Amino acid sequence: MGKRHSKFSTFLFFVVILVLLSPSTARHARAALSDFNKDGRSDLLLRNSSNASTVLWFMNADGTHSGDKTLWTSKDSTVAATGDFNNNGICDLIKRSSSTGQAVLWFMNADGTRKSYKVLFTEPKTTIAGTGDFNGDGICDLIQRKMANGQMVLWFMNADGTRKSYKVLFTEPYSTITATGDFNKNGICDLIKRDDATGRTVLWFMNADGTRKSYKVLFTDRKSTVVATGDVDNDGICDLIKRNASTGQTVLWFMNADGTKKSEKELFTDTKSTVAATGDYNGDGICDLIKRNTSTGQAALWFLNADGSRKSYKVLFTGTELALIPAPAVPKLAKQSIFGTAGQSMGYSTYEYDAGGRQIKMSSYSATGLLVGYTKTQYNSEGKPIKVSNYSAAGQLMQYIKTSYNKSGDAVNVSTYNGYTNLLMLKVVTEYKSPGKPSKVTEYGATGVISKYTVYDYNEAGKPVKVATYNLADELTGYVTYEYNKAGKQSKVSKYGPTGLLLKYTAYQYNSSGLQIKVSEYGATGVISEYTVYEYNAVGMPAKTSTYDFTDQLKGYVTTLYDAAGMITKVSSYGPTGLLKQYTTMDYTY
């Protein structure tokens, strides 16, 4: 009996070891995403825009945090991605410089200090679109995205931070990877690809070599996207959270292993809130979420039940100064250059930003690179500009504009001052009918005397229908009326003189997708003077704008090019014969 018991114990020992080493159990052990101290709970990374610091919060099971660690203080760097890149159970991170594009893998210790690092690449126009274990070796891999052409490249990683091999997934400027996760419980990370032109969102089941095994169309909706993933019902299959940007409806999809939806649970409907992060924050094996109000900045940790209902919640912070990271890269304009017909420089402008991504300085230069002048902008605690100052090349203050706001965040007083004398030049005071809807705008001269004022009238839908302007004697000097089509799109704008005589009007036409395709200018007699035709690219962004005179003769046209993030990279102006007149290029940091 003793020997049989001993053999059974030995057998049981090996069974336990095999179970512990099986892919499904190994995955469950790593279920707590972004666990930086190996306690089985997800931790948080935050960026403080007020002091440019990046901080690691070690989370307690009740939603509080302790033992915080400041990683660095730099307005230029942020966390681009996280994952366990050396298979030691401790989450690592990728630090990226927005100015140089250098991406550095930080191997972390359990106390939040850096153990070692490895430079991955230095490419200003390349970002990281996602991470996950795509070959089932226990080492996190990464997806690199080239912003110039939209190419997505999967990097299979070694435990020392070097690249083992790579696989080009696709090269499509208008497609993105919105999420990653193991959706079929095979230990290999899958991905969700979205076509921005159509909103078609597809789950790619992946092979361990980086090829696509199969796919499943999840939905086709331009207004909806997958904002987060995680295993909420603890069945080993990744679930997803879908959000409609138009309505704010945010829904949890419980997934089957074949990519179909098992069931769904509505989390909330709020246009000002989204899911900013997911993870297992109390170590119960059920994925939780962080709901962020984009207006107030409040971040609330929702502890979830396995059925998707909220068990409890904890407010983490309120305010716009803190940002949860990693977060999607927000492109910032770094340089805008103007060129002539022959490609000769006609001048350029450079832009600088604070830690919160707000523009704080714009400098203008001549064609030869000489500083012409610069503008500085200051903001209040809500991130709204309160002072814009214009300086000469020598640093002399030329002019400045001060703005104050009401409780709703609407500008109520905009005053322009002479930089030399600090004397008031112009003041504009705005009264509001409701947030965002002005009822009266009054302009005052330097002496405080009203020069003119404008009154706004709205329809029941809250759209302006009449804007009338009066002089200091309360005499009507003219007015503009607005008309709309059944879809609520502006269809006609008419300008009248003080006696009600029509001076001119503009008519607007749209296609079936609601995109403006033609704008026609008419005189008082109804004779067309000129019109503009708009053409769009695959994702509905203006690609070409052509202007014609009343005889249908082309007067000129403008073309616009974009990068993979949808940012304008080049605007070119042409004459009627197709001769290039001028073009402007835009360079960004990501």
- Reported as a single tens digit per residue, the pLDDT across 110-169 is 999 999 999 999 999 999 999 999 999 999 999 999 999 999 999 999 999 999 999 999
For 175-207, write each residue's pLDDT tens digit.
999 999 999 999 999 999 999 999 999 999 999
Q: Which spans in 374-464 are helix H?
A: none
Superfamily of domain 44-325: TolB, C-terminal domain (2.120.10.30)
- Give the list of residues 6+ apart from residue 6 with CB closer than 8 angstroms, or none: none
d(CA 136, CA 187): 5
Q: Is the pLDDT confidence value at 543 over 50?
A: yes
In angstroms, rounded to a whole number, what is the distance separating the alpha carbons of residues 80 and 123? 13
In this predicted model, what pLDDT tens digit does every residue of 395-453 receive, in sequence order? 999 999 999 999 999 999 999 999 999 999 999 999 999 999 999 999 999 999 999 99
Q: Is 342 helix (H, G, I), strand (E, B) or coil?
A: coil
DSSP 79-127: EEEEE-SSSSSS-EEEEEETTT-EEEEEEE-TTS-EEEEEEEEE-TTEE
Q: How confident is the model at residue 88 (pLDDT cuts 50, 70, 90)?
A: very high
Q: Please report which helix (H) or strand (E) contains residue 24, including its range.
A: helix 23-29
**Predicted model pTM:** 0.85
Q: Which amino acid is at 557?
A: Y
pLDDT at 328 over 90: no
Q: Is the bond preceding residue 331 a cis peptide, omega within 30 degrees?
A: no
In this structure, what token pair is assigned to residue 12?
């049981």
What digits encode the pLDDT tens for the residues 331-370? Answer: 999 999 999 999 999 999 999 998 888 999 999 999 999 9
Rounded to whole angstroms, the Cα distance separating 139 from 106 reads 14
What pLDDT score was predicted for residue 32?
Answer: 54
Q: Residue 20: is its pLDDT beyond 90?
A: no
Report how far residue 130's alpha carbon sits from residue 80's, in angstroms, rounded to the nearest whole number.
9
d(CA 348, CA 53): 31
According to the model, what pLDDT value does residue 33 have? 79
Domain locations along the chain: 44-325
165 Cα distance to chain centroid: 30
pLDDT tens digit sequence for 272-324: 999 999 999 999 999 999 999 988 899 999 999 999 999 999 999 998 889 99
**What are φ and ψ of residue 200, in 5° steps?**
-65, 120
